[in-house]
A = this chain, B = another copy of it.
Amino acid sequence: MTNPIDAQPGPDARQRLIEAGLEIFGIFNLEGATTRQLAQRAGVNQAAIPYYFGGKEGLYLAVIEHLLTHKASRVRPLVLEIREILEQKPPSPGEALAGIKTIFGAFLQILLEDKATTTWARIIMREQMQPTKAFDLIYERWIRPVHETVSALLAVILRKKATDPSLILRTHTLVGQILIFLSGRETILRRLKWEAYNESERKQIRKAVFDQLDLILQPLIERPARSRP
């Protein structure tokens, strides 16, 4: 329990361990990763982990924290921007669709990067399926803002309230079309005899997702949803 709290200037080992944790916890889960592994990768001694973070789990939480504040946040500026717009004046359905595409595009971009699959994306996926206390952080600061923003945009298109459960469910299925390329990565690689997500593959995925999005949402823009002529 001799947790050195937020030891002042976190000299160097601290930062190195977090970087190492990002890699190692991407590959193994909390149980699977060992402190020796982490220490070796960081190039520090193994005792530094209990010293700086109070234990392995402390390091894990610090990694998540780092993830949320530094990495994996290329989507956030987009979301913030869109939220601002939403608060000022309600966009037209066409603009809302464009907004959704912008978010999904950025999301896809970072999701399909090779490194993503082996680092932070896996951490978040694991947390979805076996939530630890880290999931609260991830949900509140990452998932929820994005999810809600997409819902708000979709609400414009569907002419419903953003809190309508059926609309939130629709949001979820839309997100599912993207996330499957992470959670079902191995399947699609085998189905198409791909080796990895390279530039050419990413392009095809992007096209498939956007085509589908248009197919789903475009008609609703032209002839308003649920109106019976």
Q: Considering the chains assembled together, what is the distance between the CA atoms of A173 and B209 in angstroms?
A: 7
The yes or no answer to A197 lying at the interface (CB within 8 A) is no
The interface stretch among A15-23, A43-51, A187-195 is: A187-195
A129 contact from B125, B144, B212, Cβ within 8 A: B125
Asked if residues A128 and B188 are in contact (CB atoms below 8 Å), the reply is no
Main secondary structure, interface of A, reads: helix
A43 to chain B, nearest CB (A): 25
| A140 → chain B closest CB, angstroms | 9
Contact of A187 with B126 in the complex, beta carbons under 8 Å: no
Copies in the complex: 2
Q: Which of A182-208 contact B (CB under 8 A)?
A: 183-188, 190-192, 204-205, 207-208
One of B122, B135, B178 near A176 (C-beta < 8 A): B178
**CB < 8 Å neighbour of A177 from B176, B185, B188:** B176
Query: How big is the A interface, by class?
Result: 35 or more
- What chain B residues lie within 8 Å of A187 (beta carbons)? 128, 139, 143, 147, 172
Nearest-neighbour CB distance to chain B for A93, whole angstroms, equals 15
Indicate if A77 sits at the interface (CB-CB under 8 A).
no
Asked whether, in the complex, the Cβ of A147 is within 8 Å of the Cβ of B191, the reply is yes
What residues of chain B lie closer than 8 Å to A168, measured between beta carbons? 188, 191-192
User: B-facing mask of A133-177, CB < 8 A → 1, else 0?
Assistant: 001000100011001000000000000000001101110111111
CB<8 Å pairs between A and B, sample of 8? A29-B32, A129-B183, A129-B186, A172-B184, A173-B177, A176-B178, A179-B180, A216-B216
